[in-house]
Amino acid sequence: MILGFALSRTIGLPGYHEQGWDHPYGVLSIIAEGVYLVAFFAWYGTRSAHAPSAPLRRKVPAGR
């Protein structure tokens, strides 16, 4: 979305061109989406860092 928003307001997209950045809402939406992406990648990085490397196996008693 960030890329499409920026392209539509700079060089334009095929069949679509928007004038201006709709100050302050255009800049605020770019900032909000940037913060979302940073938070997502931070969450994803911590989640994959804590993932177990091998599946855990449950011990089964020998008599069963």
What is the residue-level pLDDT of the chain in tens, covering all 64 positions? Answer: 788 887 887 887 888 777 776 778 888 888 899 999 999 999 888 766 665 666 667 777 776 6
Longest dimension (CA), the chain: 76
The confidence score (pLDDT) of residue 36 equals 92
> What is the model's pTM?
0.54
Q: Which residues contact 55 (CB under 8 A, 6 or more apart)?
A: none
The confidence score (pLDDT) of residue 49 equals 60
Q: What are phi and psi of 23, to 5 degrees?
A: -60, 135
* Contact present, 9 and 20 (Cβ < 8 Å): yes
